[in-house]
Amino acid sequence: MPAPGRFYGVGVGPGDPELLTIRAMRLLEKVGVVCYTQLDNGAPSYALGVVRELLSGGVTTLPVSIPADDSPVDPATWREAAARIGALLREGHDVAFITEGDPMLYSEFPHLIEHIGAEAIDGLTVEVVPGVPSVMAAAASSGVPLVSQGQRLAILPAVYGIDDLREAITNYDTIVLMEIDHNLMRALANLESLGLAGHAIYVRQASTASERVIHDISKLTAEDLDYFSLLIIKR
Ligand SMILES: C[S@@+](CC[C@H](N)C(=O)[O-])C[C@H]1O[C@@H](n2cnc3c(N)ncnc32)[C@H](O)[C@@H]1O
């Protein structure tokens, strides 16, 4: 039996390939298999788009299809992906699962790790290569420091409702609302009713050519909905 390959969780950063870490770049230039999630509406993978130029011609790409709507991913998806990845690892191939931003912040990587663990591969090494999280790229693009000494920061998915937002703004100096996409209009209404509309900044596709930073969120409309966007709210 050959030694198993290594399994990497690689953060590719917020979108600009120049924000890849040197470690991620070196790894992706030589890895044989690159795995990523692919929305079932056919939209190209954001993470793959960031690193495509780096990948060697002989690389095997392994998309894992997930729903484009808000519906939860069927656990069978992760089981099947883990079985395919597990087979490649057992044959000695190194596999990199790439994710936008950082693999340890709202990514699918933990689901895969859990299921690859169930594959019980003897001697398997798992390594995480951190990436620049979108939260930090958005702070850089907007010129808004998230927190300074002694202040408190909360990062929340926008699916939380107005009560959570009220509680968060009471307890934290800055809140970052991620995954706003379909929740944008509701999040804006909540901010309005909490008197926070003038305290929020919208950042879409930070660090990319499509980046948009809007300091006056009253100008936002449903057309601005974009999965790769977030709101920074300062108390
Ligand atoms: C599944 S989470 C992935 C987070 C990622 N692991 C990270 O470290 O930033 C997806 C959410 O990240 C945020 N996001 C990712 N890339 C972004 C970007 N370039 N600009 C603004 N928000 C981004 C959006 O809120 C999006 O809905």
Give the mutation target among 12, 100, 109 for probing the ligand 1 site: most ligand atoms within 8 A of CB: 100
Contact yes or no for 168/156 (Cβ under 8 A): yes
Contact yes or no for 96/34 (Cβ under 8 A): yes
Q: What is the pLDDT of residue 142?
A: 97
Ligand 1 in contact with 190 (CB < 6 A)? no
> Residues of 51-88 as b/e, b for ≥16 C-beta within 10 angstroms?
beebbeeebeebebebeeeeeeeeeebbeebbeebbeb
Whole-prediction pTM value? 0.94
Q: What is the pLDDT of residue 34?
A: 98
Q: How far is the CA of 18 from the centre of ligand 1 (A)?
A: 17
134-234: what fold?
3.30.950
Contact yes or no for 18/36 (Cβ under 8 A): no
Ligand 1 in contact with 99 (CB < 6 A)? yes
10-residue mean pLDDT profile of the chain (235 residues): values are 92 98 97 96 94 93 91 92 95 97 96 88 94 98 96 89 86 94 82 89 96 91 86 93
Residue with CA closest to ligand 1 atom 21: 229
Q: How far is CA 35 from the centre of its chain?
A: 14
Matching fold, domains 6-129 and 134-234: no
Q: What is the pLDDT of residue 56?
A: 86
Q: What are the residue boundaries of the structural domains of the chain, listed by start?
A: 6-129, 134-234
Q: What is the pLDDT of residue 88?
A: 96
Ligand 1 in contact with 134 (CB < 6 A)? yes
Which CATH code is given to the segment(s) 6-129? 3.40.1010.10
Q: What is the pLDDT of residue 206?
A: 98
Q: Which residues touch 211 (CB under 8 Å, ≥6 apart)?
A: 15, 141, 203, 204, 205
How far is residue 77's CA from residue 144's CA, in Å, rounded to a whole number?
39
Q: How far is CA 151 from the centre of its chain?
A: 25
Residue with CA closest to ligand 1 atom 2: 106
Residue with CA closest to ligand 1 atom 7: 101
Ligand 1 in contact with 141 (CB < 6 A)? no
